[in-house]
């Protein structure tokens, strides 16, 4: 599960970084919003599923 979340995070960041070069207009906005939501979701899930070391 965590490996998939890390993969989604990494791919989302990479695609978001290159979306302004590869796309334009509404497509760029749609890709940026989609990858942004995926990145925020994966970060949230990773934080919520972390093991607490006390």
Per domain, the residue ranges of the chain are 2-48
Identify which has the larger pLDDT, 52 or 10: 10
Q: Are 46 and 2 spatial neighbours (Cβ–Cβ below 8 Å)? A: yes
The terminus-to-terminus CA distance of the chain in angstroms comes to 23
Average pLDDT over residues 15-27: 92
Which pTM does this prediction carry?
Answer: 0.84
- Compute the average pLDDT of residues 11-15: 95
pLDDT at 3: 96
pLDDT for 11 beyond 90 = yes
Its sign, for the CA torsion 37, 12, 31, 16, is: positive
Where does the pLDDT of residue 52 fall: very low under 50, low under 70, confident under 90, or very high at 90 and above? Answer: confident
């Amino acid at each position: 599960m965590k490996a998939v979340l890390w993969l989604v995070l990494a791919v989302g960041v990479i695609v978001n970084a290159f979306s302004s070069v590869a796309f334009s207009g509404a497509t760029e906005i749609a890709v940026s919003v989609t990858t942004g939501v995926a990145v925020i979701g994966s970060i949230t899930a990773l934080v919520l599923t972390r093991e607490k070391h006390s």
